[in-house]
Structure formats: C-alpha cells, structure tokens
Amino acid sequence: MEKLESLERILQLYHGYLNTDCIEVAVNLKIADMLADGPLRIDEISNRVNIDPDKMYRVMRYLSSQGVFKEGKDKEFSQTPLSEQLQANVAGTFHAYVDWISSFNIEANHISASALQDNEIPFNRAYGKPIFEYLAENPDVYAMAERGWLGLHGSGTDILLDACSLTGAETFADIGGGHGAVISQALNRYPDMRGILFDAPKAIDLVKSKLDGSVLADRCELVSGDFFQEIPVEADCYFLRYILHDWNDEECITILRNIVGSAKSDARVLIAEAIIGEPNRPHIGKIFDLIMLTYLSGKERTLDEYRTLLDAAGIEYIGLTNTKYWNSIVEGRVR
C-alpha cells in the first residue's frame, strides 16, 4: 500500500463515527420510511423534516456513498437493502437497535484510553451503574432494548434452529431468552416439545404479555430468577444465545454450573455466539467484542476459550456447528 493510500485509509477509519452519526440522523428523521413508497428529491425530503436542503443533501450524499441509500439524477434518493433495515414501520429491523443505542450519552458509547487504563466499563463510568441494573430501573429503555435485540438478532433465529436439530428433545430451555423469539419458533417447529424460558423478572414480564392468549402459552413455562444464583430449570436441552459473551469467565462458569446443577442426565447445552476466528481478518465477532468492552464485563471468545469454560463447568465438549449466520453453535453435554 502506497503512503498516500495508507493515509486515505486511516483517515476513513478515524472518521468512521460519521457513519454512526449519519445513520442516527436517518433513523431519527425516519428517512427510510419516507422512501418506502418510492424515490424522493432532496427538496421534498428536506421539506418534510424541516432541514435546510443543502445540509440534508450532504448527509444523504454521504450515506449514499456508503450504500445506505441510492442517489439518482437531480438529487433524487431511493431505498437500498441497507436502508430497508432502517425502517421504523417494519418489525424486526435494525431501526430499533439504533433507536436504543443512540438513547445513551456519548460517553457510554465511547471506548477511551483512560477508561481502559482505569479498568472501567465506559457505560458504568457514564451512568454510575451496570447496564442491566440501569435497564431494570428504566422500563421504557428496557423495552427499547428488547426491540433492539430482536431487530439485531431476530433474522438469524431460523438459521440457528436449522443448524441444531432438536428432534427427540422433550424439554427445551432458553436461558436468558428475553424477547421470546427463539422459544416461540422452536415450539412451532416441534409441536411435541415443551419449552421453558428463564430470564430476569423484567424480561419475563415482557414475554408474558406477548404469550398470554397465544397457542404456545400452555406449552411454555416462564421462570424468572438470577442465573448467577440458580437456574431452577430441569430440561434435556439448554440454549444460550448471546448470553455468555456478556460476562467474564468466572461469571460464565457460574451460569454453566447452575445449568449442570438442574439439568437432566446427559442434557445438551447449545451455545450460540460469534466465535472469534483467524487474526488480521474482519469478523462481526470482533465488532461485538468491542461492544462488550464498552457496556459489560464480557467478551467474544475463540472456540478454545469456550471449551475451557465448558470443561470448568463439568460439561463435555461435543462439537462446533458453523452457520450461514454470524453465530456458530458450540455444543456440549452435561457429564
């Protein structure tokens, strides 16, 4: 790479925050919803959002250069597959995730050298408490978080369930299943299977309101509690999706040991996470890893690191299943 090329590349990387800023502008103004019915010229967009046309055009031009929108003749803009993910009026899009994350102040979303040197979690530093404690105290933000998680991960649920056959499982337990998407889709696929959703009380309250009156209600038991204290759920298959990456190694081992303490003999343990692969290559897990560094005590892990956690908790490693999604599934069996 020539010196000028390297300068241009590092300039792009350093100012990557502009992607975040401009996407948040588009989400807050609901530009993607505005274009859902067809292309619009910049003057029409500007009129609808009450922003100077030149300023609005510069933001839209930049987003179009990144593939978020498409600019045509005479400053006319239209949707792309990326902007479709920003629609507020479509369930399960990325809009909800942006809406949630952008509600936090900038210090909570910012990794700094001083926070790393002081061994502080940026969110805790900004708000004076851990994020899950903050969410429990702010129900509206917690509801935003659930919608955001569903928008981020919902499209991968079918892919994960395709990858791990549950045939023969009598009881399927989703540990930390939050919004209930996994348990609902699993029970729909396996009509003879019973489900258990275990999560914190706030999460269970939200899921209960969704399941009440549904055809799945009589097949799905909702159990609330703290998985660091106990997981009073007996099942022959346990599923953890984006749970262990939230926590440090000691905390993960505690969660897994609490599963072992209640599990049926030879129960399967399925862990869906973004497994860190080769160095020097981009991977979605390396993005999530820095998100963990910003908000929680956890991290994304390599397969060897997950095998170490399983072994420490008394769970035998069975194998790894890669999927078309950014998650892989680490499978273990209770010894």
How far is C-alpha 29 from the geometric centre of its chain's CA atoms?
A: 23
How much is the pLDDT for 5?
92
- Helix, strand, coil share of the chain (percent; to 5): 50, 15, 35
Could you read off the pLDDT of 171-197 as tens digits, one per residue? 999 999 988 889 999 999 999 999 999
- Rounded Cα distance between 271 and 254, Å, is 15
Q: Is the pLDDT of residue 1 over 80?
A: no
Q: Which helix (H) or strand (E) holds 3?
A: helix 3-14
Q: Is the pLDDT of residue 210 over 90?
A: no
pLDDT over 70 percentage in the chain: 99
Q: Catalytic residue among 245, 250, 278, 331, which?
A: 245
Is 278 among the residues known to form the active site? no
Query: Residue 202: which pLDDT band, with cuts at 50, 70 and 90?
Result: confident
Q: Is the pLDDT of residue 249 over 90?
A: yes
Q: What mean pLDDT comes out for the span 254-283? A: 95
Q: Is the pLDDT of residue 286 over 90?
A: yes
How much is the pLDDT for 105?
92
Burial class, 48, CB count within 10 angstroms (exposed 0-12 / middle 13-18 / buried 19+):
middle
Query: Residue 214: which pLDDT band, with cuts at 50, 70 and 90?
Result: confident
Is 15 among the residues known to form the active site? no
Q: Specify the amino acid at residue 20.
A: T
Could you read off the pLDDT of 132-151 as tens digits, one per residue? 999 999 989 988 998 898 88
- Rounded Cα distance between 272 and 247, Å, is 14
Could you read off the pLDDT of 6-25 as tens digits, one per residue? 999 999 999 999 999 999 99
Q: Which two tokens stand for residue 203?
A: 């999460």
Q: Specify the amino acid at residue 93.
A: T
Domains of the chain listed by start with CATH number: 3-84 (1.10.10.10), 151-334 (3.40.50.150)
How much is the pLDDT for 253?
98
Could you read off the pLDDT of 289-319 as tens digits, one per residue? 999 999 999 999 999 999 999 999 999 999 9
Query: Residue 222: which pLDDT band, with cuts at 50, 70 and 90?
Result: very high
How much is the pLDDT for 153?
85
Is 95 among the residues known to form the active site? no
Mean pLDDT of the chain, nearest integer? 94
Q: Catalytic residue among 95, 153, 179, 273, which?
A: 273
How much is the pLDDT for 150?
85
Q: Specify the amino acid at residue 290.
A: L
Helix 249-262 crosses helix 303-313 at what angle (to 10 degrees)? 50
Q: Is the pLDDT of residue 203 over 90?
A: no
Cα separation values, 251 from 99, 163, 198, 305, 313, Å: 29, 27, 17, 14, 11
Question: Is the pTM of the predicted complex or chain greater than 0.75?
Answer: yes
Q: Specify the amino acid at residue 197.
A: L
Q: Which helix (H) or strand (E) holds 140?
A: helix 139-153
Could you read off the pLDDT of 38-79 as tens digits, one per residue? 999 999 999 999 999 999 999 999 999 999 999 999 999 999
Q: Catalytic residue among 95, 146, 153, 300, which?
A: 300
